[in-house]
A and B are shown apart, each in its own frame.
Chain A
Amino acid sequence: EVQLVESGGGLVQPGGSLRLSCAVSGFIVSNYDMSWVRQTLGKGLEWVSFIHTGGTPRYADSVKGRFTISRQNRKNTLYLEMASLRHEDAGVYYCARTRDSYTSDANRNNYYMDVWGKGTTLIVSS
């Protein structure tokens, strides 16, 4: 069964750091693109980070330079290292398997999240 299980959320002070984990079962994490998507009161659903099968990481402008996405193949786990945390980073963080569908008219891929974890909650407060 394909399953994603996030952990690592909690309470952190502004300026603090935290690492989120996403344990993957039912498929090999390095064989798929993967993403982190968060849901906050201020911005709703926001796609914050993406890692390509080849390992190239990408970030939303709102987290660039503060967040780091990675994966550990031996543990079949995806991570999100978060630093310099702000109040506006608070919310539920989901990991998601990311697929693509090629569109010949536009000669590029449409990316979508087909499997999601249940999420882990980050609270940023002093």
Chain B
Amino acid sequence: DIQMTQSPSSLSASVGDRVTITCRASQSISIFLNWYQQKPGKAPHLLIYSASTLHTGVPSRFSGSGSGTDFTLTINGVQPEDFATYYCQQSASDPPRGTFGPGTKVDFK
């Protein structure tokens, strides 16, 4: 099974900061990497798929990059509504073997 790790596990930021979250796969997954945002008590919400394609309606301050084993989610100018937990998910394995990372919690400094 492909294992996913994320760093950091948590971070504190102020409104307007640039935030970067890293996701690493245990083997190459090309660009089969998706990012989700989850707020407490809510379902996950798709942000980015195929490593860098912004899902419909997602603000342009979110961006994704990477391929192979190393990926990055960047929030340029974090807003109050962005304080949440972010998960990466690989889809190089056939469904439903695509695994999620453990999450990165972004909270208010």
To the question of whether A and B form a pair in one complex, the answer is yes
Binding site for B on A (CB under 8 A): 33, 35, 37, 44-50, 58-60, 94, 98-99, 101, 103, 105-106, 109-114, 116-119
Determine whether B79 belongs to the interface, using a CB cutoff of 8 Å to chain A. no
Q: Contact partner of A117 among B43, B87, B100, CB < 8 A?
A: B43
Q: Tell me the number of A-to-B contacts counted with CB atoms below 8 Å.
A: 79
- Distance from A41 Cβ to chain B, minimum over Cβ atoms (Å): 12
Q: Is the pair B97, A47 in contact by a Cβ cutoff of 8 Å?
A: yes
Interface range on chain B: under 10, 10 to 19, 20 to 34, or 35 or more? Answer: 20 to 34
Q: Contact partner of B96 among A35, A44, A119, CB < 8 A?
A: A35
Give the dominant DSSP class at B's interface: loop
Instruction: Return the 10 tightest CB-CB contacts between A and B, nearest first.
Output: A45-B100, A116-B43, A47-B96, A50-B95, A112-B49, A112-B34, A50-B96, A110-B32, A111-B91, A106-B30
- List the A side residues contacting B103 at CB < 8 Å: 44-45
Closest to A118 in B: B43
A21 to B55, CA, bound (A): 27
Q: Is the pair B95, A101 in contact by a Cβ cutoff of 8 Å?
A: no
A94 to B96, CA, bound (A): 14
Q: Is the pair B89, A45 in contact by a Cβ cutoff of 8 Å?
A: yes
Q: Contact partner of A47 among B30, B31, B100, B102, CB < 8 A?
A: B100
- List the B side residues contacting A35 at CB < 8 Å: 95-96
- Distance from B85 Cβ to chain A, minimum over Cβ atoms (Å): 10
